[in-house]
Amino acid sequence: MSSDASAPPLKRAGVPAPAETPARRLSVLLSRAPRLRLGLLLTAPLFWLGLVYIAALAALLVTAFWTVDSFTGTVSIEWNLDNIVTVLTGAVYQAVTLRTVGVALLVTVIDILIALPIAFYMAKVATPRMQRVLVILVLMPLWASYLVKAYAWRSVLSEGGLVDWLVTPFGGNTPGYGLHATVITLAYLWLPYVIMPIYAGLERVPDSLLEASGDLGAKTWRTLRSVVLPLLWPAIIAGSIFSFSLSLGDYITVNIVGGASQMLGNLVYTNVGAANNLPLAAAIALIPIAIMIVYLGLVRRTGALENL
Amino acid sequence: MRLSRPLRTTLGALTIAVLVMIYVPLFVVLVNSFSTSQSLVWPPPGFTLEWWGKAFQNQGALSALWTSVQVATLATLISLVLGTLVAIALQRYRFFGRQSVSLLVILPIALPGIVTGIALNNAFRTILGLQLGFFTIVVAHATFCIVTVFNNVQARLRRTGTNLEEASADLGAGIWTTFRLVTFPQLRSALFAGGLLAFALSFDEIIVTTFTAGVGTTTLPIWIFQNLFRPNQAPVVNVIAVVLVAVSVIPIYIAQRIAGAERVSK
């Protein structure tokens, strides 16, 4: 204690004392109050997301219980369950919901089946140099414009198009536009969103783990099934959220290559645009919301949401 | 892991097959843009540069392009600020409701675009009584772009840790100085990559845009969609499609290079 008093005052060579500016005082205040700091960080983003997005979703839910005045065509605030009942019991809505969910599931399964081997080759087989080239090659064109890619498939599948030209010598025809074209195109569109998380997930699986499994006598398939797959689940599910959700709401691709088939998105679109029935459109939109909430709730515990 | 030779070859062949599948449709569009035929016939009966000339004089397409650039720039700037703030908050603090906030950021892209679209359409029109147009598109785009900035910044913050920031504070630097001289330089390339992705996402978006654009404002994707089914515009659409692929490839390539370069230098 006494030695402290006799010691020369501490010198901070070359560092001038900070000037007492308002900014400095605020800085000192903030560094002493982590809660305040956190509050300031979160205010703007929460304000935006809460006010713009959550409020809009809540309003959508409310609107589904309103009606449209059949004379004026304006939304009138008359509370009733008509729209919800229509959507839940109407044969058209049930059929379209089943079709949409079916397409979304099929697209997701196809994408995962394609993504797994490709991502595995990229992450574990290719040389580091090749790996970087492959990442760019696989991801770059697929990030390119959504419409262009849907249109490209229209062009490929059209009558007299590339597929026709390829299969005509063998007595075939192009399958043309329809539900199968929708599935192909959507699977093509969302493939990067599935490959990316799976590739990232595989990169995180250490090679030493795979070697240990091999040393313990596991064959390739056994290692893949018992070591790689369990570690990869969150990444696979993260990818599936994109392909499933994006397919669930799509109506543009269906318009471009789907022929006469309709999905939930088309119903929402017609009711907002041509029919100008926002309440009914809102009620229809609740279907994909409900499906996604259930889906996200189911996968929450897998840690998939941290892998997005 | 020792992979058998046939398995390696199979995986390699599959990868090549998928790459071919990825590029063939885009290649078809490229070739079509030089085709003398207005319909989508393969192989093209002849080649011409006519559509390329017409495309660059198409006023509708050019003004739509300009609108898209403005929307994407504004949406990117907003999402850069908001995404960075929320990423720092979630990565550097532990607080009640942290999980909910991270879900909130993801939600606008985890829910189908049509949901985001109609929710915002309804909120703007029915609830707030606003006229749809340029600014409603910007607000909508910024909302779902936040997540790309957020993801990039969060990943970077997780990797860099807090050591340097603590050292800076120990040496007497205030919060602003630490952010300006330590945190921000570490984040710079992540912000660049996140911003580029946000720009690309906004530039390309059509579903949410359709619902928030109203009748007067046309972004490039909307213009393309409107002209897709008009036989005499189809060749011009082909040209714009090719240009779009070429242009959108640039930011993604740069973002990948930055990410790749940093992984190597680490």
Q: What is the CATH number for B230? A: 1.10.3720.10
pLDDT for A244 beyond 90: yes
- Range from A142-151, A204-213, B91-100 carrying the lowest mean pLDDT: A142-151
Q: How far is A149 from chain B (nearest CA, A)?
A: 7
Angle at A160 (CA atoms; ends A158, A164), nearest 5 degrees: 80
Contact B111 A249 (CB under 8 A): yes
Closest residue by Cα to residue A196 from A144, A247, A143, A150: A143
Q: In whole angstroms, how far apart are CA B183 and each of A9, A38, B97?
A: 32, 16, 25
pLDDT for A298 beyond 80: yes
pLDDT for A8 beyond 60: no
Give counts: helices (H), strands (E), chain A. 16, 2
Contact A251 B207 (CB under 8 A): yes
The predicted structure's pLDDT at residue A2: 45
- Which pairs count as long-range contacts for B176-180, CB under 8 Å and 24+ apart, including other chains? B176/A23, B176/A27, B177/A27
Query: CB burial class (10 A; 0-12, 13-18, 19+) of residue A48?
Result: buried
Mutate to test the interface with B, among A57, A174, A213 (most CBs of B within 10 A): A57
Q: Quick check: B108 and B143 in contact, CB under 8 A?
A: yes
HSE-up of residue B119 (Cα within 13 Å, Cβ side)? 29
The predicted structure's pLDDT at residue A304: 67
Mutate to test the interface with B, among A68, A87, A139, A162 (most CBs of B within 10 A): A162
- A23 CB neighbours in chain B (<8 A) are 174, 176
Contact A138 B18 (CB under 8 A): yes
The predicted structure's pLDDT at residue B254: 76
Name the domain count of chain B.
Answer: 1
pLDDT for A1 beyond 60: no
Q: Which of B93, B143, B151 sits opposite A34 (nearest CB)?
A: B93
> Can you give the pLDDT of all 266 residues of chain B as single tens digits?
567 788 888 889 999 999 998 888 888 888 888 877 777 777 777 777 777 887 788 888 889 999 999 999 999 999 999 999 999 999 888 888 888 888 889 888 888 889 999 999 888 888 888 888 899 999 999 999 999 999 889 988 888 888 888 888 888 787 888 888 888 888 998 899 889 889 988 988 999 999 998 888 899 999 988 888 887 777 788 888 888 877 767 776 777 677 666 654 44
Which of the two residues, A234 and B38, has the higher pLDDT score? A234
Which residues touch A47 (CB under 8 Å, ≥6 apart)?
none
Averaged confidence pLDDT in chain A: 83
Instruction: Give how far the C-alpha of residue B254 lies from the chain's centroid of Cα atoms, to the nearest Å.
Output: 13
The β-bridge partners of A75 are A68
| Enclosing domain of residue B144 | 60-265
How many other CB atoms sit within 10 Å of the CB of residue B57?
A: 9
Mutate to test the interface with B, among A116, A143, A243, A278 (most CBs of B within 10 A): A143
- Which numeric CATH code is attached to A90-302? 1.10.3720.10
| Cβ-based contacts under 8 A for chains A and B | 287
Q: How far is B1 from chain A (nearest CA, A)?
A: 5
- A218 CB neighbours in chain B (<8 A) are none
pLDDT tens sequence across A67-114: 777 666 676 777 778 788 888 888 888 999 999 999 999 999 999 999
What's the length of chain A?
308
- B139 CB neighbours in chain A (<8 A) are 52
Residue B177 included in any domain:
yes
Contact B15 A122 (CB under 8 A): yes
Contact A49 B108 (CB under 8 A): yes
Contact B221 A241 (CB under 8 A): no
Residue B27 included in any domain:
no
- Residue A192 CA to residue B143 CA, distance in Å, equals 22
Q: How far is B192 from chain A (nearest CA, A)?
A: 17
pLDDT for A5 beyond 80: no
Contact A188 B25 (CB under 8 A): yes
Contact A125 B221 (CB under 8 A): no
Residue B22 included in any domain:
no
Going by pLDDT thresholds of 50, 70 and 90, the confidence category of residue A10 is low
Q: Please give the structure tokens belonging to residue A108.
A: 């997701």
Contact B206 A256 (CB under 8 A): no
Average pLDDT over residues A143-148: 79
Which of the two residues, A12 and A260, has the higher pLDDT score? A260
Q: How far is A99 from chain B (nearest CA, A)?
A: 16
Contact A57 B119 (CB under 8 A): yes
| Distance spanning both ends of chain A, measured CA to CA | 56
The predicted structure's pLDDT at residue A51: 85
Q: How far is B229 from chain A (nearest CA, A)?
A: 9
- Residue A51 CA to residue B142 CA, distance in Å, equals 13
Closest residue on chain B to A307 (Cα): B151
- Residue B107 CA to residue B93 CA, distance in Å, equals 21
Diameter over CA atoms, chain A? 103
Q: How far is A1 from chain B (nearest CA, A)?
A: 24
The predicted structure's pLDDT at residue A198: 92
Closest residue on chain B to A118 (Cα): B15
Contact B114 A211 (CB under 8 A): no
The predicted structure's pLDDT at residue A11: 56
Q: Which of A121, A207, A213 sits opposite B12 (nearest CB)?
A: A121
- Residue B102 CA to residue B86 CA, distance in Å, equals 9
How many other CB atoms sit within 10 Å of the CB of residue B83?
A: 28
